[in-house]
Amino acid sequence: MFQLIPAIDIINGQCVRLTQGDYAQKKVYSSDPLEVAKAFEGAGIQRLHVVDLDGAKAKKIVNAAVLERIAKGTNLHIDFGGGVQSDEMVDLAFSAGAAQITAGSIAVRNPELVKAWFAKYGADRIILGADAQHEQIAVAGWQENTEISIYDFLADYEKAGARYVISTDVAKDGLLQGPSFPLYEKIQTKTPSLHVIASGGVASLQDLEDLRAMKLFGVIVGKAFYEGRISLEELATFAKESAC
């Protein structure tokens, strides 16, 4: 079963999208993220990727109330990221209704803490956020590049029991130029036990079909939907087909 996972990115309680992680390139799509989430649920979609962009900047969760509204107002399986950098913030995300949290920069900067979360909360509830620039890990909302190979990074976590990874090719995100298929193919080959969720660059229904054909775990869809490249009806049909 291939998972279609729409994204809701939040700044000041509003549903927005950035281009390549640049807060200066922000576009507001809705003042009510719950209504957007309900539309996805009404289309038969079961999962949702929620990112607290204010939280990512503040290094602590800022929009917990928005997460809680979405969780209480829908039955969607929510994975939540942005500012989740301590046990306290993980507890806050889960208590607000997240089913999973995404550990991004913290997984690079403090791997022992994140590996401890596998034991404390269960590896199924922790998704690694592995964003890449030229196959090297990028952190801090992509404002900082490292010299860490994404494949070495994921192999280390795979040994520690990681189950899920969301990977974004920074060069592709928000540009509607297509996903980084070679990156996902390499990740699957080098770390075969990980459930890989593709993110960034999706521009068309064909992109979704091509990613599904790769037998990834799932795909995150953001700007392509919000900019009208893929309709809600098309997402509904795709989700139904993928569930078969």
Amino acid identity, position 204: S
In this prediction, residues 162-173 reach a mean pLDDT of 88
- CA dist., res. 11 & res. 19, Å (int): 14
List the catalytic residues: 9, 131
Check whether 141 has a pLDDT greater than 60.
Answer: no
Cα dihedral angle (48, 99, 80, 84), rounded to 10 degrees?
A: -170
What integer is the mean pLDDT of 79-86?
A: 96
- Residue 181 pLDDT grade (very low, low, confident, very high; cuts 50, 70, 90): very high
Mean pLDDT of 180-194: 96
Q: What pLDDT shows up at residue 143?
A: 59
Q: Check pLDDT > 70 for residue 19.
A: yes
Residue with tokens 């900019």: 227
pTM: 0.94
* pLDDT confidence of residue 148: 94
* Beta-carbon count within 10 A of 152 CB: 12
What is the per-residue pLDDT across 44-61, written as a single tens digit (0 to 9) for each?
999 999 999 999 999 999
- pLDDT confidence band for 144 (50 / 70 / 90): low
Lowest mean pLDDT among 94-108, 118-132, 164-178: 164-178
Instruction: Delineate the domains of the chain, giving CATH numbers in brackets.
Output: 3-242 (3.20.20.70)
In the numeric block, the tokens 């003042």 are attached to 31
Amino acid (1-letter code) at residue 127 = I
From residue 108, alpha-carbon distances to 44, 53, 152, 242 in Å are 35, 18, 12, 32
Give the 3-state secondary structure of residue 103.
Answer: strand
Q: Is the pLDDT confidence value at 20 over 90?
A: no
* Greater model confidence, 36 or 243: 36
DSSP code for 216? -
Do residues 45 and 76 touch, judged by C-beta distance below 8 A?
yes
Q: Give the single-character DSSP code of 230.
A: S
178/13 Cα distance (integer angstroms)? 29
As a whole number of Å, the end-to-end CA separation of the chain is 7
CA separation, residue 14 to residues 111, 204, 205 (Å): 31, 25, 26
- Spatial CA neighbour of 7 closest among 178, 202, 139: 202
pLDDT for the residue numbered 54 = 94
DSSP string, 82-149: SS--SHHHHHHHHHTT-SEEEE-HHHHH-HHHHHHHHHHH-GGGEEEEEEEETTEEEETTTTEEEEEE
- Do residues 9 and 244 lie in contact, with contact meaning Cβ atoms separated by under 8 Å? no
Nearest to 215 by CA among 191, 242, 241, 239: 242
